[in-house]
Structure 1
Amino acid sequence: MPRRGRTRTLTRAALLATAGLMALSACGGEGAGPRLELSAALPDSPPDGTVLRVGDPATQVALETSGLIDDLDIEVEWANITGGPKTLEAFRADAIDIGSVADIPPLFAHWTGTDVRIVAARETVDPAEHPTYELGVAPGVDVTSIEDLKGKKIAYSPGQAQGALVLNVLREAGLTQDDVELVEMQSVDDAFSVALAGKQVDVAPLGQTLVKTYLAKYERDGATTIQPGVRDDAWTLYTPTTVLEDADKAAAIKEYVAAWAKAQQWISDNPDEFAEAYYVDHEGLTPEDAQYVVDALGEFTVPTSWDEFIARHQETVDTLVKEQDQEPLEVETLYDRRYEKAIADAVEGS
C-alpha cells in the first residue's frame, strides 16, 4: 500500500543538534540511492523508504490544510527553516535536502562554494501592485520616493534578496553605492525593523510580514514605508547537486515539486484559509495582520516555462557581478530543467 503524505516535523534546534551526525554520510544518511548523472532522465518514482528532508514550512502548512498532502506518496521530514542563511547552513550540515528561498540565496551558495541547482520557480501575478518588500523608513527621516535615498544609511544584506533589492532600487533611482551608506547586516527575524526603530539605519527593506507590525509600533513616531518600484517577486526551490545525484532523492524531489506547484495555486485560490493556518496559527500574527500580508502579496503563479524567469534572474546576476564584484555566471547553469516538465505536467493537469 502506498504511503500517503507520511510526514515528520523537525524543529530547527533538534535539526542542528543532530547535524553533526547527519553530516557523516552523504545525501542524507545510510541507504543512499544509485548515482544519477545530472544529465540523465529522472526516475519515474522513488522506492519505498525514500525520505525527503524539506525546509519549506509555508508549503507544509498549505499541503496539510488543503488536504493535498494525501496525494504526496513520499515520506517527508519537515524542518522549520526559512531564509537564505539558515537554509544554506542546513545544506552545509547535510541536514535538509531542499529549501524554499528567493532568487539570491542560490547565487550566493554557488559563489561561496556550495554547488546547488534550482528545481522550481514561482512569481507574482501582478508584481507591480503586490511587491514582496517595501522600504521601511525610520521615524523622522524624510524619504517619500526612491530618489530621496541619496545620502541615507540603508540596511544591506549582500547574500539575501533584500540586498539585491537595494541595488536594483538604487539603479532605478539613478544612484550608485557611492551616493548612499550601505550598512551591512543580515535580515533575520525583525533585525531590520529593530535597526530602523533604533535609527541605526534610515531605510531598510521589510517583507510584508513585517510592514504592518513596524507601522503599528512606530508610525505614531513618524515611521513610514514607500514602494521599491522594482520587481522583487522571484521565489525558488533549490537543492545541493549531491542530492540530485542520488537517484532516489531526485525522484522524490520530482514528486515534491509537483505537489509544491499545486500548493502554490491553492494558496492563491484560498488566501483567507492560508492566512489563518500559516500566518496566524504558525507564525503568530494577528488575524488582521495576517489578512494584510496575504492581500499585500497577492496571487502567485508557477510558470510552466522558465525562459522569462531565467532571463530576469540573469539581469539580477549581472547587477551583482557589477556592483559586488562577483564572478560572472550564466545563471541557466544553476537550473535543473528536468523539473520544469514535472511542474508543467502537475500545473496543466490540475
Structure 2
Amino acid sequence: MSRRGLTRPLIRAALTTTLGLLVLSGCGSDEPGSELALTAALPDAPAEGTVLRVGDPATQVALETSGLIDELGVEVEWANITGGPKTLEAFRADAIDIGSVADIPPLFAHWTGTDVRIVAARESADPANHPVYELGVAPGAKVETIQDLKGKKIAYSPGQAQGALVLNVLREAGLTQDDVEFVEMQSVDDAFSVALASKQVDVAPLGQTLAKTYLAKYERDGASTIDPGVRDDAWTLYTPTTVLADADKAAAIKEYVVAWTKAQQWISDHPDEFAKAYYVEHEGLSPEDAAHVVEAIGTHQVLTDWDAFIARHQETVDTLVEAQDQEPLEVETLYDRRYETVIADAVGGS
C-alpha cells in the first residue's frame, strides 16, 4: 500500500464533544513505545505500525493536494479539529497527539494543568501587510479606528489568540480593560460572527475566513471590519509531553514536522491551488472569497531559528500575566528545541 493509502483521513467531521473525541481515541491507536526522556536525542524513526493522530486540516489538505503526502514517513490519522479549545479538549481526551494552533493555546494548556511542548513555529513573511485577524464591527456600532473601541462591548476569549489580540489592540489604542466591556466567550465555529450579528457585542476579532463570510452576510445591514493594527501572525505545532515521552510518537512527530515544513512552503508557492482545495472545497468559501483570504493572509515562513519568536512569545506571556493575573512563565520551557534542529536540517537539505 502506498503512503497515500496509509494516510487517507479516517475522520472528516468536526468533533465537538468529549464523547466523540473519546470514540476517536480508540481508532487506530497503537501500542506505546519505549519511554523517552524529554532531553534525550530523538530516535531516527518510529517503529513500524506507529500511528500519529493529527489535528491539522489545512496541512492535511496541502499534503494531499500537492502529493507531498506520499513522502510522509509515518502513518497518520487525521482529525478535523482546529482552534485552541477543541485541540486542548482532544489532548485531554487522548484523542490526538499533535495540533496546529496560534501561540496562546499552549500557554493556557500549561496554565490549566496540561503539560505541553511546542515543536514547530511559523510566522508571516510580511506581518505588517498581512494580518491574520480583522476586528469585526456589529451593524450600527460606530467603530472606524481602534481608538473608537472605548466604551464598546468586545468579545473576549482569554484562552485563545483572539484574547491576546484584544489586549494588544487596547494597548496600541492607549486604552485599558476598564475602558471597555469584555464579553467572555470562546471563538469556536462562527460564535463571534453570530454575537456580532445579534449585537451581543460591538466588536470581535475574526480570522480572515470568518471576516469574509461575516461581511458577505451582514455588510448590507451595516456590518464592517477594521484593521487591528498589531502583529498577530504567530503559529505553532504543539503536543502533550506524555506524547513526547513515547519514543515512537516522538520520532513520528519528527517525521511530521518535516512534512509540515514542506507543506507550508507549498502553500506559499501555490496560493491558488491551496485556495481552491482548502478554502473552497474544505471550508466552503466561494472562489472569490477564497482568493481574498489567501491574498489577505499572504505567505508564511517556517522558522529554523526560534530565538526571536520565543522572545516575542515571552512579551505576550508578560502581557497575559499582567492583564489576567496568570502565573509567571518562562515561555522557553514550553519549546522542545530538538525539533528546531530537525526543521533546520530539513530546510537546509531541501
1:9 aligns with 2:5: no
Instruction: Give unpaired runs (5+ residues) of structure 2.
Output: none
Letter in 2 for 1:183: V
CA contact (8 A) 2:154 2:181 kept: yes
Matched, 1:200 2:203: no
Q: Secondary structure at the match of 1:32?
A: coil
One-letter identity of the residue aligned with 2:241: T
What do residues 255-285 of structure 1 show as CA deviations (whole Å, max 9, x unaligned)?
Answer: 1000001100100110000000011111111
CA contact (8 A) 1:4 1:74 kept: no
Q: Does 1:129 align with 2:126?
A: no
Distance of aligned partners of 1:217 and 1:22 in 2 relative to their CA distance in 1, 3 Å threshold: closer
Equivalent runs, 1:313-332 vs 2, <5 Å: 313-332=313-332
Which runs of 5 or more residues in structure 1 are unaligned?
A: none
Q: How does 1:184-199 map to 2 (within 5 A)?
A: 184-199=184-199
- Separation (CA, whole Å) in 2 of partners of 1:272 and 1:21: 36
Deviations 1:14-40 (A, max 9, x none): 99556447779xxx9552000000000
Count of paired positions:
348
Q: Does residue 1:254 correspond to 2:254, yes or no?
A: yes
Q: In 2 relative to 1, CA 250–3 (structure 1 residues): closer, same or farther, beyond 3 Å?
A: same
Alignment partner, residue 117 of structure 1: 117
Question: Post-superposition shift, 1:91?
Answer: 0.3
Please give the residue correspondences for 1:1-350 in structure 2 after superposition, counting only pairs within 5 Å.
Answer: 3=3, 6-7=6-7, 8-10=9-11, 11-13=13-15, 17=19, 19-20=21-22, 29=29, 31-350=31-350
Shift of 1:9: 2.3
Report the CA distance shift for 1:343/1:137 in structure 2 as closer, same or farther (over 3 A).
same
Change (3 A) 1:22 1:224: closer
How big is each residue's C-alpha offset from its partner over 1:167-197, in whole Å with a ceiling of 9 and x where there is no partner? 0000111111000000001111111111111
Displacement after TM superposition at 1:2 (Å) = 8.4
The Cα offsets for residues 293-350 of structure 1, whole Å up to 9 and x where unpaired, read as 1011000100110001000000000000000000000000000000001111112222
**Contact residue 22 and residue 29 of structure 1 kept, 8 A:** no
When normalised by structure 1's length, the TM-score is: 0.95
Identity %: 80
SS in 2 for 1:106: helix
Give runs of ≥4 in structure 1 deviating > 6 Å.
21-24
Q: Secondary structure at 1:9's aligned position in 2?
A: coil
TM-score by length of 2: 0.95
Task: Give SS of 1:122's match.
Answer: strand
Taking the aligned partners of 1:132 and 1:23, their CA distance within structure 2 comes to 31
Contact 1:5 1:76 in 2 (8 A): no
How far residue 5 of structure 1 moved from its aligned partner, in angstroms, is 6.6
